[in-house]
Amino acid sequence: MTGRRPPDAAAGAAPEPLAPPAQEAVPERRRLRKLKRAGVVALGLAALASPWWGRPVLARMAFFRVRRVQIEGARYTAPRDILRQLHVDTSVSVWADLGPLETRVEELPEVRAAAIRRKLPGTLVVTVTERVPVALVPTPQGLRPYDASGLPLPIDPSREPVDAPILARRDTTALRLLAELRQRAPELYQRVSDVRRVGDEFDLTFATFLVRAMTDVTVRRLEEVEPVARDLAQRRLQVSELDLRFRDQVIARLK
């Protein structure tokens, strides 16, 4: 019995195209996943302008669970302390109310203010404004950093270097002056090594000389030290003290 020839074996029949290998479909799958991801993110962005019910709906979606916390602005505050204070995990949605989270971070003694924003789909960006140490004050436990308001900061100078003048004792007037000097004349602030209060006067030790001033001295008045010291140095005169206690005068005492 003669069998029939298969149709694809007929003379002149064109062969059917082969299916592409499995690995060639990978880029297409990736492209589809990216499109889907972009679509969900776009949905989240649209929720920002949606009615009150938009965010609660998105908060139930696993796609918007917190998977990463990004911390900005922290120098003296350990990131692990911020994470511990946030107390969030992957069960929390990025659409959660951020106000209570900011309040938690601001309870850290090193933090003056905190702001949190969302980076979709699953990141919280925490930006902290720290309480900046403006002076180191001797204590029975060693030098302790203080901020402009007179609050001690939980910073260990032996582990985290603090470049600040030494203040003989806690003095809110001196701390405010140093904070203003640090902000408005940082180069001059860097030259101050220690500050002592004697009655209604301040003795500020600079690199090679002493500056005497009243406790109500301003930053502008302190800035007058620089040109006088520079002029004396150009004339090769060694100054031991510059006195600012007299109005509109800078009295130099030479070595």
Q: Is the dihedral of CA 9, 10, 12, 18 positive or negative?
A: negative
Same domain, 110 and 209: no
For the chain, give the mean pLDDT.
84
Residue 114 lies in a domain: yes
For residue 16, pLDDT over 50 is answered with no
Same domain, 110 and 171: no
For residue 41, pLDDT over 50 is answered with yes
Residues making up the chain, counted from first to last:
255
For residue 28, pLDDT over 60 is answered with no
pLDDT at 172: 96
Mean pLDDT along residues 115-133: 95
Mean pLDDT along residues 40-48: 54
pLDDT at 63: 86
27 confidence band (pLDDT: 50, 70, 90): low
Instruction: Residue 191: give the domain boundaries.
Output: 135-254
For residue 7, pLDDT over 50 is answered with no
pLDDT at 198: 94
Gyration radius of the chain's alpha carbons: 33
141 confidence band (pLDDT: 50, 70, 90): confident
Same domain, 157 and 219: yes
- Count how many domains the chain has: 3
For residue 50, pLDDT over 80 is answered with no
Query: What's the Cα-to-Cα distance from 122 to each of 42, 51, 62, 91, 94, rounded to whole Å?
Result: 14, 22, 9, 11, 6
Same domain, 141 and 224: yes
Give me the CATH number covering residue 235.
3.40.50
Lowest mean pLDDT among 30-44, 67-81, 204-218: 30-44
Cα gap 232→227, rounded to integer Å = 9
